Structure 1
Amino acid sequence: MIGYYAHHHGAGHLTRMQSIAAVLDEPVWGLSSGPRPPGWTGGWTDLARDDDPPAGHRSERDLTAHGVLHWVPLHHDGLARRAAQLTTWAADERPRAVVVDVSVEVALLARLAGVPTVVVAMPGRRDDRAHRLAYDTADALLAPWPRGAHDLHWPDRWVDKAWFVGGISRFDGRELPATSTDPATPGSHAAGPGTPGAPGDRTVLLLWGAGGRSTTDADVRAARAATPGWIWVERSPGHDGSSDLWDDLQRADVIVTHAGQNAVAEAAAARRPAVVVAQPRPHAEQEWTARRIDDWRIAVGRTEWPEPEDWPELLELAVSRGGHGWARWSDGTGAQQVADHLTRLTTEGIAP
């Protein structure tokens, strides 16, 4: 059995867990402070929260153990219960390995319990003391991006044990229409995702995630007003949309999305033209992703929400770059590659 810890912030960690579990030939046990995913049939441990205590029960003193860790508040009941749950689970269930997506503290607890760890590496600059500790002690690093995207500043010891599998999307393996890798043309997706449009109109699918955003509704209205001839359809928590995101992705002339790993992987799976706009995140992770996508001319990448007057040109640039460049980001086999690596690690002790 393989354990998989999924951080509760946003939905991306849980989504990636499900994609990998679906292709593994052995059971996966989920551990998270987030909700059990609908339809999950494997084992599951609801971990105590260490960031949402009753008022007055959390010490604000030394949250990082003098800068060595990321989050270990003193005298925190939830943190203590969480640590006990993890180590008891490791002793009782004897997993062959644990994938940690993501937490320095969980990675260390699993390794201290004698369990091999695969730490999901994150974009951005991750050379702080806590990240170095987690990455150094890991048996392998799972990098859900192509080699060269975020590892140029890595030491050789990390590169040597990394699994560069490309983006991992729940839509990997879906059949693509013949036009998906070609530049969009006016009217090629005129109706848009559930929105009737006049002939010649093109559709922007604005895609947000559950991790929060700094872009405001006013920013979106201004971009929409500046782009006559484009129909903007928004898909995000709190906004109505169709029930079939894959269909929406395929019908969009341009996808506009944040630079989170799962959103980028889904644009890659759909092979559609895109504008990828970074949202503020720790370690500048989305900025790094947006820059790399733009540098490689896979799509249009920007580190902040563009001014309204810039949007007409950006959408046309995305159309001209097309969707074929996404093949460099993901070949659609990321989850299967992880499964193959895990099998080798747990049966033969081979990490890279």
Structure 2
Amino acid sequence: MTRRPIGYYVHHHGAGHRARAEAIAAAIDWPIVLLGTGLGTAGIDLDDDRPISGRFDGVDETASRPAALHYAPLDHNGVRSRVARITRWIATERPALMVVDVSVEVAMLSRLASVPTIYVRLNGDRIDAVHLDAFRGATALIAPFHRDLEMALMPAWIRDKTCYLPGITAAAYPTARQDNRILVVIGRGGPPGDGAAIAQAARACPDMDWRVIGPVTPSADRPANLDLAGWVDDPGREIARAGLIIGAAGDGLVNAVLAADSPFLCIPQDRPYGEQRATARALHALGAAMTLETWPSPDQWPSLIRQAKALPPHARNRLHDPRGVDAAATWLATMAAAAVDQLEPVA
């Protein structure tokens, strides 16, 4: 069988999209090529499509934007260049599939270029007309989370078209847990952590060692039990070592917490379509995490930590697949083989 490559489009906001793509690429028995902004030598590096302001939520304000698209700004050289680069690669390499993680526009572009698409579907209220069109046009959908975290409003036809693949980016670490360590995780997709608020929380729990990974605003009066580590090379190992994780509800962190079987106090951040809040509410309802809407006052922390640690492990264990990346790689290779079988031979 001819192994025409799989193209994998990687969105450049946050770290989760690239982490999924690289994990699958390392595990799959099929040629795969990553396409995205900021990939460098890891794939086909596309020009940036973000506005000059740098503020990017995936929606433009163009009055004439078609109803089937979210982001199609006018006279943007980066957009023009990346569309040309993607379609040129498609025309040359004739991929078996295009995995799109995530972009309605790239999914539509791939379909227009006559390529079967696999759309990575994130959680949240994504039943607007634009997303629904992308879901309809895709050969299949991937949800990088357990089906029990799905929002109740999601139509049955979308669920039926979805392959649920939790645990793609997470691996368990055989590391001794330090029960008195609190790990605060700040991701790339949102603002830096509030250094002053974290310092107050650590001061309210003097018997606990607090450690923060990720960017944090400066704190003038940092207590001795607070360590600000910044970016670290192996956040999964840090998560496995901690007695409690505090962080948002992005797929990467949620998967890592579940893989480590760590107690989790989740404070979701605002994201398009309520993605993180949907995941956080489901985790809370299933007893897999304690969820808060906002950062609590210092006096609340001792009680909250006790409650989060008391959550039953089985509630979070069942939401994780330790073979998630292998399951994703096997499924995607099977889809690519089926697509090649169905594609008409080129004369």
TM-score range, shorter chain: 0.7 to 0.9
Name the structure 2 match of 1:286. 276
Q: Deviations over 1:84-121 (max 9, x none)?
A: 11111111111111111100000110111111111111
Please say if 1:6 is aligned against 2:5. no
Name the structure 2 match of 1:185. none
Name the structure 2 match of 1:343. 333
| Structure 1, 126-135 or 240-249: larger mean CA deviation | 240-249
Q: Deviations over 1:52-109 (max 9, x none)?
A: 4599xxxx76167144311101122221111111111111111111111100000110
Per-residue deviation at 1:251? Answer: 1.9
C-alpha distance 346-306 of structure 1, shift in aligned 2 (>3 A): same
Q: Deviations over 1:185-228 (max 9, x none)?
A: xxx626xxxxxxxxxxx110111111123752222122222223
Report the Cα distance in structure 1 between the residues aligned to 2:48 and 2:97, rounded to whole angstroms: 23
Letter of the structure 2 residue corresponding to residue 75 of structure 1: D
Runs of 4 or more consecutive aligned structure 1 residues displaced over 3 Å after TM superposition: 52-55, 174-177, 241-244
Name the structure 2 match of 1:274. 264
Q: Deviations over 1:298-333 (max 9, x none)?
A: 121223222322221111111111544322221212
The structure 2 residue matched to 1:230, chosen from 204, 208, 214, is 208
Letter of the structure 1 residue corresponding to residue 47 of structure 2: A
Normalization by structure 2: what TM-score?
A: 0.85
Q: Is the 8 A contact 1:7 1:34 kept in 2?
A: no
Report the Cα distance in structure 2 between the residues aligned to 1:65 and 1:71, rounded to whole angstroms: 8
C-alpha distance 280-53 of structure 1, shift in aligned 2 (>3 A): closer
Name the structure 2 match of 1:137. 137
Please say if 1:162 is aligned against 2:195. no
Name the structure 1 match of 2:229. 240
SS of the residue corresponding to residue 184 of structure 2 reads: strand
Per-residue deviation at 1:336? Answer: 1.5
Query: Gapped runs of 5+ residues in structure 1?
Result: 180-187, 191-201
Q: Is the 8 A contact 1:144 1:334 kept in 2?
A: no
Please say if 1:33 is aligned against 2:23. no
Report the Cα distance in structure 1 between the residues aligned to 2:100 and 2:325, rounded to whole angstroms: 15
C-alpha distance 71-165 of structure 1, shift in aligned 2 (>3 A): same
Letter of the structure 2 residue corresponding to residue 132 of structure 1: L
Per-residue deviation at 1:19? Answer: 0.9
Name the structure 1 match of 2:44. 45
Report the Cα distance in structure 1 between the residues aligned to 2:63 and 2:94, rounded to whole angstroms: 30
Report the Cα distance in structure 1 between the residues aligned to 2:325 and 2:126, rounded to whole angstroms: 23
Report the Cα distance in structure 1 between the residues aligned to 2:86 and 2:64, rounded to whole angstroms: 20
Report the Cα distance in structure 2 between the residues aligned to 1:123 and 1:88, rounded to whole angstroms: 31
Query: Gapped runs of 5+ residues in structure 2?
Result: 55-59, 217-227, 342-347
Name the structure 2 match of 1:122. 122
| Structure 1, 153-162 or 14-23: larger mean CA deviation | 153-162
SS of the residue corresponding to residue 14 of structure 1 reads: helix
Per-residue deviation at 1:292? Answer: 0.8
Normalization by structure 1: what TM-score?
A: 0.84
The answer to which structure has the higher helix fraction is: 2
C-alpha distance 77-63 of structure 1, shift in aligned 2 (>3 A): farther
Per-residue deviation at 1:28? Answer: 1.4
Letter of the structure 2 residue corresponding to residue 49 of structure 1: D
SS of the residue corresponding to residue 30 of structure 1 reads: strand
Letter of the structure 1 residue corresponding to residue 24 of structure 2: I
* Identity between Structure 1 and Structure 2 (%): 35
Letter of the structure 2 residue corresponding to residue 335 of structure 1: V
C-alpha distance 102-64 of structure 1, shift in aligned 2 (>3 A): farther
Name the structure 2 match of 1:198. none
Letter of the structure 1 residue corresponding to residue 158 of structure 2: W
Name the structure 2 match of 1:303. 293
